[in-house]
Amino acid sequence: MKAYLDNAASTQVHPEVLEEMLPFLSENFGNPSSLHAFGRKGKAAIENVRKNIASYLNCKSTEIYYCSSGTEANNMALKLAVSNLGVERVITSKIEHKCVLNTAEFLNESVNISLDFVELDQLGRCKLDYLENLLKQSNKKTLVSLMHIQNELGTINPIQEIGMLCEQYDAYFHSDTVQSIGHYPIDLTHTNIDFLSASAHKFHGPLGAGFLYVRENIPLKTWLHGGGHERNLRSGTENVPGIVGMGKALSLANENMAKDESYITKLNNQLKTGLQSIHSSIKFNQHESFTSHRILSVSIPSGLLDDMFSFKLDLAGIAVSAGSACSSGSAKASPVIEYLNLHPNDTTIRFSFSIFTSVEDIEYVISFFKKNILKPN
């Protein structure tokens, strides 16, 4: 038996998504910029998806720009804010995804923008009073870049309140919502976000498709030069099959969001209860009210683990994200875990669930831990 519990990294393409994509890999293969019938079919398809994305986010279709990934979308937001909007200062956190953190550090080094970091609570949630103090400290044009759901811990940031602070202090707000789009409702009419990033493969769409939302009153110049695609922001022939798949995946996710959330919460609780029953020293890195149920971060004292822990997990066909700061033969702990000082002598594992995770998968993982990993109390 195999158990894939690394859905925060990438999800299985939904069968209905694949079915939707196939015609655009075979008979409807035209370039969407071509004027003939083959091209017009592709163009119509991607514009229909753009409208559907906009309807889910409660924004305008002209505010949606296609790109290749969440990484590209995040790079676009930060770099264009600096080059096009006169941003001289970025406020972010030390536990952002590397594509945000490394981009902010690059801008700090290459064009000398100021770079400030918010304080976080023990599990990585932004301290709003600290953010407000940072916003008060400088008159420089500022971009705040804070992710909605932290990709390793599942911690949910208060983006509604962050957006209000940014509006109050005339700062731009970018949010990496790669872990939340398709799993968590976001209404852009009632949330002050200027830039928002998403990636299809996090919600059962294909790899290589994503989008950037840009609020309509924000003027941006060209990101990629060429034929003027994506209203002259990002040139390059659109990935029609990927975009069509992304649209179908988002449609399915939004139609079934409440049901899927209930199912995934049950899986999360099942695994948590099972691990708790094995050893009382296992710790769960989660807020009671501010953690996505799609992610369960677990810290296990390294003295309870076999030195070949990571190897045995893989050999058993269990796919998770794991790292340790001290265990022999294990990967080094992530910078997120180290920065937050979350149980530094423990091995931390991220389990992440999807609608294709089964109750049997969870039972298999619990059984494996009982038999092969943990020593008895």
Q: Which active-site residues does the annotation give?
A: 326
- Rounded to whole angstroms, the Cα distance separating 54 from 202 reads 18
- Rounded to whole angstroms, the Cα distance separating 166 from 2 reads 45
Question: Cα torsion for 286, 288, 294, 297, to the nearest 10°?
Answer: 10
Phi, psi of 146, rounded to the nearest 5 degrees? -135, 130
One-letter amino acid of 366: I
Name which of 127, 121, 123, 71 is nearest 100 in CA terms.
71
- Rounded to whole angstroms, the Cα distance separating 374 from 277 reads 11
Tokens representing 160 are 């509604």
Q: Which residues contact 293 (CB under 8 A, 6 or more apart)?
A: 154, 261, 264, 265, 268, 353
Q: For residue 143, give the H/E element and its range.
A: strand 142-145
What is the DSSP annotation of 273-325? HHHHHH-TT-EE---SSSB-TTEEEEEEEGGGS-TTHHHHHHHTTEE-EEEES
Name which of 321, 300, 265 is nearest 374 in CA terms.
300
CB 194 within 8 A of CB 218: yes
